[in-house]
Amino acid sequence: MTYDVHVTSTETRIPLNRGRIIDAAVDFADRNGVDELSMRKLGAELGVEAMSLYNHVDNKDEILDGMIGAVFGAIPLPDTEIDWKQAIRKTGIAAMEQFTAHPWVVTLLMQRGNFGDTPLLFMNQILGVLRRAGFSDEDTHHAWQMLAGHTMGYAFQQAARMPGKDFSHFDTQLTRLGDRVPHVVALAPYLAACEFETEFAFGLEIIIDGLNARLP
């Protein structure tokens, strides 16, 4: 006697939770841009209906704030046991790396006034490094604004870059203006080959040196 053996295969579904939703939103924005993100598209990424997301998040705003928090959470907090200059330098470069990897975060930071606890905890750590270094509260405030503005400014420039953009008009302008712009002509090779990472690091060193000069 023979028997038919039926093997039932069940697919193990990873439970949906807030963390998975935020991670999927970050991945989607990295590939498609944050403007393309919607609850329907995010649900499709996770293999669920959009309404299922609301069992874990209140709305899209919570997801956007969570995405900002995820980026800041990936930036190592400054080491409080090392020299403040080294701590600020390492943290600044690490922040720039995250903003480069997730260029959409710059837009979200500019658009949103409330973006969760993680960025605030990051800010607190930086302020603590500066205060422990001996800066006055007023200078600590100014230092934070300078560091944040420098980082966000370069991150915004990187986000605005258009891959494959044609800069041939620059050469045409130089040819047309000729001797009227001799300094631009002399520096044209550097200007055309501008690397944002190098320029950011250069500016960061100037800020650190300037802040160091203000310490008692």
pLDDT digits (tens, 9 = 90+) for 178-211: 788 899 889 888 887 778 888 999 999 999 999 9
- Per-residue pLDDT at 112: 84
CB 135 within 8 A of CB 214: yes
pLDDT at 6 over 60: no
What is the residue extent of each domain of the chain? 79-212
pLDDT band at 167 (very low <50, low <70, confident <90, very high): low
Taking alpha carbons only, the member of 5, 10, 41 closest to residue 25 is 41
Q: Which of 91-95, 107-111, 121-125 has the lowest mean pLDDT?
A: 107-111
Q: What is the pLDDT of residue 119?
A: 92
- pLDDT range class, residue 139, cuts 50, 70, 90: very high
pLDDT at 165: 56
Residues 6+ positions from 54 with CB-CB distance below 8 Å: none
Give the least confident one: 5-14, 20-29, 162-171: 5-14
* Superfamily of domain covering 79-212: Tetracycline Repressor, domain 2 (1.10.357.10)
Cα separation of 142 and 133, whole Å?
A: 14
The pLDDT mean for the chain works out to 88
DSSP state of 116: -
Confidence (pLDDT) at 11: 43
Residue 158: predicted pLDDT: 80
Mean pLDDT, range 43-72, rounded to an integer: 95
Predicted confidence band at 160 (pLDDT cuts at 50, 70, 90)?
confident
Cβ burial of 156 (10 Å; 0-12, 13-18, 19+) is middle
Pick the closest to residue 15 from 57, 41, 48 (CA basis): 48
